[in-house]
Copies of this chain bind each other. A is one copy, B any other.
Amino acid sequence: MKKAVILFSGGLDSTTCLALAKHEGFECHALSFNYGQKHSTELHAAKKIATKFNANHTIINMPIWQLCESALTNANISIPDYDNKNEIPITYVPARNTIFLSLALSLAESIKSDDIFIGVSAVDYSGYPDCRPEYINAFQKLANLATKIGTEENNIKIHAPLINLSKAETIQLGLKLGVNYADTVSCYRANTKGYACGKCDSCILRKKGFNEAKVMDNTFYY
């Protein structure tokens, strides 16, 4: 059985990725990070979902907050409500996906896996630069140069199956694969129970997805 590493926050997108990797027959190794995010309650959701999908699950403590300023990790910067500006928002965590993919690559090489899944989308997204197809392609190229396994076989593949999907399409895919989105936590201001604010970037994109997919939004809001 082929192994895959899945970057897994416990949110809507990465849960859909996990379900897809499972559906494609991979033995799934889900990887989550406690990086000082205010919504660390997502890690409880991640644990619960990984168990449901019978995936291996590792949570790594990663003090990214020591290195960088972001509304997601810094108590002195408030997480804003959604606005429609066409610029990178203050919830951006510098180099976050690069850090996460690097650690996934380390795990992948260790367990002899060629396949890494990441749930980025360049359609309904917050405008972060490290969610774009050209970024994912560059990381795949790097991964094959960076590692023993990549250098020998050039086989490492970064799967970003949601990259061209709208949030609605992702939801429709996940529902077919048996995801219960009530289990997932996307909100940047989720409370300790995992209930969502309904107003941040992440909540608004998620709501729009359920709306466009014409599916009941069973998210818990506070």
A contacts, CB < 8 Å to B: 58, 60-64, 66-69, 88, 92-99, 101-103, 105-107, 109-110, 129-130, 132, 134-135, 138-139, 141-143, 145-148, 150-151
B66:A60 contact, CB within 8 angstroms: yes
For A105, what are the chain B residues with a Cβ–Cβ distance below 8 Å? 94-95, 98
Nearest-Cβ distance from residue A105 to partner chain B, whole angstroms = 4
Closest residue of chain B to A70 (Cβ to Cβ) is: B110
B110:A69 contact, CB within 8 angstroms: yes
Given A61-B63, A129-B147, A145-B129, A106 and B135 touching (CB < 8 A)? Answer: no
A96:B106 contact, CB within 8 angstroms: yes
Closest residue of chain B to A69 (Cβ to Cβ) is: B110
Nearest-Cβ distance from residue A53 to partner chain B, whole angstroms = 20
Task: Please measure, in the bound complex, the distance between the C-alpha atom of A219 and the C-alpha atom of B146, giving whole angstroms.
Answer: 31
Additional pairs, 9, CB under 8 Å, beyond known A98-B102, A99-B106, A129-B150: A58-B67, A62-B62, A67-B106, A68-B110, A94-B109, A99-B103, A130-B147, A135-B142, A135-B146
For A60, what are the chain B residues with a Cβ–Cβ distance below 8 Å? 63, 66-67
30 A–B contacts from the bound complex (CB under 8 Å) = A58-B67, A60-B67, A61-B63, A67-B110, A68-B107, A69-B110, A88-B148, A92-B148, A94-B107, A94-B110, A94-B147, A94-B148, A95-B103, A95-B106, A95-B146, A97-B146, A98-B105, A98-B142, A99-B103, A129-B148, A129-B150, A130-B146, A130-B147, A132-B145, A135-B142, A135-B146, A138-B138, A138-B141, A138-B145, A138-B146
